[in-house]
Structure 1
């Protein structure tokens, strides 16, 4: 990956809807070589897709909850079982396997406290192999970035 690839990535992170002509102009290429580079970055899975960033409050999901999950065992089977289960939960926006005393950190969105309680009781706590769950509610977001640094 060279400096032009990094400029393409940085530009697309700011505006993934721009035309190939506009992208090529922004990074100093003609459209055909630019399109080839974008296709290569997509084929190499550097660019994994294009999405719209949506305000979660506008969709009626203003609450963000960070949940620490401790599993009964940290075996590959237990982690795989947990991962398969939570992949089906659309309220889970992020889920990370962590080091330390707690195994999993998740970010979940909810409409309100009652909605989160339903998610907890009807979905998360029914996943086999959970030893404990601790949650913290985000009061406000101080930094949110979708764009990665391109160095």
Structure 2
């Protein structure tokens, strides 16, 4: 009976996580499509190509930066916050660290192209970081649910 309840709970958790992941991916794709559409409006082919390359580069840099911070700092810091050994402000500072690392890593011409295309570059980079963190958390939760189900 307890095993059946665990299976049901694992299945419900997996279904909820799948649904949340679908929504998150939908909004990430929607935002990417919006940026690509804005880039497509640019009349100059060279500028358009640069803007599209900048969006792709930002996505890549953000993914790698968030994964690196997650592996080196975030996981342990979340545990420390949960146990009362660290403050939430320390955890929030990781987003600022990610932002700084992304801006430092991005080539200046890409940053300029994004500013021209998007207008509010800071807001877009921050939203990209948040989307990458959410994506990473959801993938980890799905993996955990699958392990529970198989175990």
Same fold (TM over 0.5): no
TM range (shorter): under 0.3
Of Structure 1 and Structure 2, which has the larger fraction of its residues in strand? 1
Higher relative contact order, chain-length normalized (CA < 8 Å, sep 6+): 2
Q: TM-score w.r.t. structure 2 length?
A: 0.28
Which structure's residues are more often helix, by fraction? 2
Name the TM-score, length of structure 1 as normaliser.
0.28
| Bigger Rg, which one | 1
